[in-house]
Amino acid sequence: MKGKKVLTVVFATTKHIPANEVTVSCEESLSSKRPIRGKYTNQEWQYRISLPSDADKATLCFHVNEDIPMEQNPIVVSYNKWIFESKDSQKVKFTDQDISFPGYKKRYLHAVENLLNEETDFSRRYVPSNLDTDQEYDVIVIGSGMGGGILADQLSDFGLSVLVLEAGSVHFPSHIGNSPIPASETDVRKSVAYDNAPGSVLKKDVHLNLGGRSIYWSSVIPRMNDWDLEHWDKDIVVYLKKGGYRKAEKLFRMRTEYNSYEKVLRGRIREILPEYKVEHLPRSYHQEMSWITERRGNSDERPTGWFSTAALLLNSVSFPDKKTGGENITINLNHLVTGLEWDGRKVTGVICQDLINHKERIYRGKVVVLAAGATESPCIALRSKLNDKSDKIGRGLTDHQDAKLDFEIPRKSLSITSIDQAKIFLLPNPDVGNDNKFSCELALNHRFWEPRYDDDDLYEESLGDDDAPIKSTIKFLFPKPLNESNWIKLGEPRPIVNVEPMQNHPSEEQANELKEKVLNFLGVASSEVAKPLKYREESETYHTGGSLRIGEHGKGVVDKHLKFHEYDNLYCCDLSIFPHIPTANPSLTLGALALRLAEDIKGLVGT
């Protein structure tokens, strides 16, 4: 930035870790003379400090937990000791040998990196907490993501009193795609809550915030295919096919009308690929012209945005006077659940760390639902030493395999122009003998799915040079059975996961054949057509599940109603319960199961 330089300060420490917070102050800082908050990641506190362009030194003082200064005198770092990253950006690093603090009362050590805990005016106004531990709720839901958020909202609509416990705070009131900021990897707030065992390849990111990962997802909502449903309980399959999926699609606002370019393109692809079903890629998108979301009112109304449980829950709690259940729901942000109390077959309490007031609290509910995610929910179960005849808690943590190729369509191609875009879904058609078990997603000109542009100048700039090739992607997804060698276990200071690399290349010949046909049709250069698909070896937490699987007593942790076999009032509603990792993005299926569980709990608790 003109007139400024940026100093990156790094404090590498394994002693002063979250929930303890280390801040730094700098006398020369342009932004603040008070302690500056950083983030803890990769066992380092990192801070960015704006300095005058002519600054030749920085006077630094570290504090822990806001008011305890370091034992050393302020450190003066001269210009010639800085490490240059660029012309206007420098870096200086310290370790535990350089910085120490006098004795202080340590906070609960959760060691979760990059976890933002804050109480703001917004959260105090719109997400008021209830710290009364004497109150008994009908239902306590642990986690506010896709499963927990939908479940809590539905239960409150039924008239049940619901407490939602969320470890993080409010990052965005809705989906990041609804915001006028770049939706890039650097803008997604990822927390590191576990360590990989040697050889393990699970990417270390979970999203601890109101709405969980639902504020970051890509809004893709396909149903499971028949080959996926073969691995699920028959009663669940009947529910999904006979209305469950339809209810979830209505909740997610499945888009039903697409642009004319895509409609024509789908017809042309069907002609060259009769052995495939060519459909629009089902997405959650609030927009007009959709028969699912049509509502009374101004015909020119244009509701836009992607679904998130942050928006769903904030809608509920912000309108408590409406007849929508808002008065029945309480959300306690910054509450990290560490365990469950239980007696016999009943869970009697939920143990939390209040990360704002730094106090342990125990809340009570008639029914408790784990919805903290496929890595966090099994850890809560393990810390609680829950009974489990199957011995499957934390085992089977699995992602599905995918393969993709990024390619460019030349402008001379007659298949697309610079202002056209499409997301198309190709599925094998068994009616004509195609028994392949994979799905294919084709995203053409995908820059249109970048941030929302309210600034027309920025939007025009994003379109780029009219002569530039059009960037696109073809991606294949494959189902995967649970890998019994994968697990998550408790460890210090964080849990440890073991997820083996995915070294198999399912349906490689058939997928490459389809890729070549599609790319040739689009007029892609032969050199790019010849490139093989890149199969992924690393797993990602986004679609990973199976760590609290559905199964019969002795074979699974929860039953077909998502209830823990060994307990009468404990359920799970996140990807942990998946008995098999489907081809499809799992969000729609999880949403449908959350709606079903809400009905079950309503019948159990009553109103």
Q: Give the other-Cβ count within 10 Å of 360's Cβ.
A: 12
Please answer whether residues 153 and 573 qualify as being in contact, where contact means their C-beta atoms are separated by less than 8 angstroms.
no
Look up residue 333 and give its two tokens: 């942000």
On the question of pLDDT at 342 being above 50, the answer is yes
DSSP string of 164-215? EE-SS--S-SS-GGGSSS--SGGGS--BB--EEPTT--B---B--STTGGGG
- Residue 545, φ and ψ in degrees, nearest 5: -155, -170
pLDDT in tens, 392-434: 999 999 999 999 999 999 877 667 877 788 899 999 999 998 9
Where residue 133 falls among pLDDT bands split at 50, 70, 90?
Answer: very high
Distances (CA, A) of 181 to 176, 186, 521: 8, 11, 35
pLDDT in tens, 271-308: 999 999 999 889 888 765 555 555 555 444 445 678 99
DSSP letter for 587, please. H
Distance CA 275, CA 268 (A): 13
Please answer whether residues 347 and 368 qualify as being in contact, where contact means their C-beta atoms are separated by less than 8 angstroms.
yes
For residue 162, the cross-strand partners are 139, 329
On the question of pLDDT at 264 being above 70, the answer is yes
Q: What is the pLDDT at residue 1?
A: 41
Highest mean pLDDT among 19-28, 189-198, 566-575: 566-575
Closest CA to 591 of 303, 213, 276, 137: 213
Task: Name the burial class of residue 59, with classes exposed (0-12), middle (13-18) and buried (19+) by CB atoms within 10 angstroms of its CB.
Answer: middle
Closest CA to 197 of 382, 15, 397: 397
Q: What is the pLDDT at residue 189?
A: 82
Distance CA 477, CA 493 (A): 35
Q: What is the pLDDT at residue 183?
A: 60
Pairing of strands 57-64, 22-26: antiparallel
Tell me which residue has tokens 């239980």: 342
- Between CA 569 and CA 581, with CA 575 as vertex, the angle to 5 degrees is 130
Distance CA 335, CA 356 (A): 8
On the question of pLDDT at 85 being above 80, the answer is no
pTM attached to this predicted model: 0.93
Look up residue 592 and give its two tokens: 């449908």
pLDDT in tens, 148-175: 999 999 999 999 999 999 999 998 898 8
Q: Considering only residues 180 and 568, tell me which one the structure prediction assigns the higher pLDDT.
A: 568
Count Cα atoms within 13 angstroms, Cβ side, for 343.
2
Q: Considering only residues 238 and 465, tell me which one the structure prediction assigns the higher pLDDT.
A: 238
Q: Any alpha helices (H) in 98-145, and if so which ranges?
A: 121-126
Residue 391: CB partners within 8 Å, gap ≥ 6? none
Where residue 30 falls among pLDDT bands split at 50, 70, 90?
Answer: confident
pLDDT in tens, 304-332: 678 999 999 999 998 877 677 788 999 99
Least confident of 261-270, 458-467, 562-571: 458-467
- Residue 268, φ and ψ in degrees, nearest 5: -70, -40
DSSP string of 39-64? EEETTEEEEEEEEETT--EEEEEEEE
Mean of the pLDDT values across residues 174-178? 85
For residue 191, the cross-strand partners are 206
Distance CA 151, CA 602 (A): 11
Pairing of strands 496-498, 195-196: parallel
Q: What is the pLDDT at residue 56?
A: 85
Secondary structure of residue 602 in the 3-state scheme: helix
